[in-house]
Amino acid sequence: MNANEISPKANARLNRIKLIARILKIFVAVYTLTILATLVGVTLGLVSFLPDNFQIRVSPHHSYGWSANVSNGMIDAPVIKLALYLFYGFILFKLLTLYETGKLFTLKNVFYIRILGYAVLIEWVIDYIANNFFNSIGNKPFIDFTCFPPLLALTVIFVSWVMDEGRKIQEEQELTV
């Protein structure tokens, strides 16, 4: 067998990856379109169908009633987070498209995974600021020491670095005779 040919076993694995990537792309597309419709609906004031008790969740411990006055510092947080979720959807869609076409270890994959890690870190910073500077429970400031999101973000960034190093090693081995 030629070393450049894909074995039947590897081909079956690649086909499974492609199928799962295609299915996940559908979910990501629906998610992204839902977020986009929400953002457009809020911007254009087309959300009159929402009940009066509808809540805007800015962070895990911070939400506002739909008709409530939002404090000055937090007015942009829901929009920023919705935009960040749109960005997640866009990047995930592009990453899954690469997987669907059989491109598993490319520089673009590394880039998209690294960007997702940074986006998770940015979202954590937004949540941290919202929880620690604009939220109070019973007149006492609520301080959230949650460390999972930054740990997750750093892990995703680390995985992207490992993938990049593996990609470089693979390129060097392909050039070696």
Return the pLDDT at 23. Answer: 95
pLDDT in tens, 124-167: 888 777 766 665 554 445 555 667 788 889 999 999 999 999 88
If DSSP states are collapsed to H, E and C, what string results for the chain?
CCCCCCCHHHHHHHHHHHHHHHHHHHHHHHHHHHHHHHHHHHHHCCCCCCCCCCEEEEECCEEEECCCCCCHHHCCHHHHHHHHHHHHHHHHHHHHHHHHCCCCCCHHHHHHHHHHHHHHHHHHHHHHHHHHHCCEECCEECCCCCCHHHHHHHHHHHHHHHHHHHHHHHHHHHHCC
Return the pLDDT at 52. Answer: 57
Tokens of 143: 């301080």
Return the pLDDT at 112. Answer: 95
pLDDT in tens, 54-75: 555 555 555 555 444 445 445 5
pLDDT cut 70: percent of the chain above it: 64
pLDDT in tens, 20-45: 999 999 999 998 898 888 777 766 66
| Contact partners, residue 135, CB within 8 Å, separation at least 6 | 59, 61, 62, 141, 142
User: What is the pTM for the complete model shown?
Assistant: 0.72
